[in-house]
Amino acid sequence: MPELPDVEVYREALEKHVRGQRLLGIRLASPFLLRSFEIPLSSATGRKVLAVRRLGKRIVFALEGDLFLAIHLMIAGRLHWRDPGARLPGRVGLAAFDFPSGTLTLTEASRKRRAALHLVSAAGLRELDAGGLEPLTATLAQFHAALARENHTLKRSLTDPRLFAGIGNAYSDELLWAARLSPVQLTGNLDEEEIARLFEATRATLGDWLDRLRAEAGDEFPEHVTAFRPEMAVHGRYKLPCPRCHSPVQRIRRAENEVNYCATCQTGGKLLADRALSRLLGKDWPKTLEEMEEWKAGLRAGL
């Protein structure tokens, strides 16, 4: 799923391309994309784009007449800038937004069709706002207060849009690795030093990735948006060496998400329990990296 750095780079590119232009029309290829019905989608046609904003992981076009066009890309949605009147790709194309200078197309590679489009008033836009704190502009005190609102694991709290805006599965892994904190540590158990460390790691990591993605896109529209990048420390790098200590990156799966972490750097060498596999192995589930290596050696030896 595109998260804060990717969505912000999309926003910056769109600001350059469409701010001040009139939306000539919207071609909707999938009726499942539109999630709002109080204001007809045709009401957006002919209105000038006053600004392009980011609301968490949403991209919002502020239109004349106090209307707002909000796009949530979810997991597999992507944006592309094409020549004026460009055709939508057949299977993955969801919508095309036509402007005098070009066409913005929205595609989704997944068959589940989770991407969402809303056309709302200012009041409707407030309803779409989950209320999460913007991590790059927050103070340490605000960051601390958000963490303290509920006692959950760090992974869950960082990815909760009611607490923090724009952080998802990929970057939460990276922030926690940078802060040397366990993804399953409870927020209520954090001390002042750990909170300050996570705050600084969040600002530094997200800021660094924003700079990287801006440099990668250059003057072009960003076309390489992905949740898996080889430069990442742990996310999507299961079994590969941690760039800090060289221990193999570990992974646990939870529903459709996964948690990637370094046991040496983040959990004191302890392996987190994967729900499915640890239930299968029961008391035989290895608790440390050393036990995991012994268990694997036993499998290889046919024991």
Give the CATH number of the domain where residue 108 resides: 3.20.190.10
For residues 66 and 275, give the distance between their C-alpha atoms in angstroms, rounded to a whole number: 48
Q: What is the pLDDT of residues 262-285, one digit of tens each?
A: 999 999 999 998 755 444 444 555
Q: What is the pLDDT of residues 33-55, one digit of tens each?
A: 999 999 999 999 999 999 999 99
Specify the pLDDT at position 257.
Answer: 76
What is the 3-state composition of the chain as percent helix, strand, coil, each rounded to the nearest 5? 35, 25, 40
Whether residues 156 and 236 fall in one domain: yes
Question: Would you list the DSSP string of 43-78?
Answer: GGTTPBEEEEEEETTEEEEEETTTEEEEEE-TTTEE
Specify the pLDDT at position 221.
Answer: 96
Specify the pLDDT at position 111.
Answer: 78
Whether residues 38 and 86 fall in one domain: yes
Amino acid at the residue 293:
E
Specify the pLDDT at position 110.
Answer: 81
- Consecutive H or E run containing 199: helix 192-217
Specify the pLDDT at position 228.
Answer: 87
Whether residues 60 and 116 fall in one domain: yes
User: Is residue 212 included in any domain, yes or no?
Assistant: yes
Whether residues 234 and 279 fall in one domain: no
Whether residues 180 and 256 fall in one domain: yes
For residues 125 and 71, give the distance between their C-alpha atoms in angstroms, rounded to a whole number: 11
Q: What is the number of residues in the chain?
A: 303
Whether residues 16 and 92 fall in one domain: yes
Specify the pLDDT at position 290.
Answer: 61
Whether residues 91 and 168 fall in one domain: no
Specify the pLDDT at position 54.
Answer: 97
How many domains does the chain fold into?
3
Whether residues 221 and 160 fall in one domain: yes
Whether residues 152 and 260 fall in one domain: yes
For residues 285 and 265, give the distance between their C-alpha atoms in angstroms, rounded to a whole number: 21
Specify the pLDDT at position 281.
Answer: 41
Query: Which one of 82, 101, 128 terminates a domain?
Result: 128
Give the residues of the chain that fall short of pLDDT 70.
Answer: 255-256, 275-303
Whether residues 75 and 177 fall in one domain: no
Q: Three-state DSSP class for 99?
A: strand
Range of the domain at 44: 4-128
For residue 205, the domain's CATH number is 1.10.8.50
Whether residues 248 and 290 fall in one domain: no
For residues 88 and 165, give the distance between their C-alpha atoms in angstroms, rounded to a whole number: 31
User: Is residue 193 included in any domain, yes or no?
Assistant: yes
For residues 276 and 282, give the distance between their C-alpha atoms in angstroms, rounded to a whole number: 10
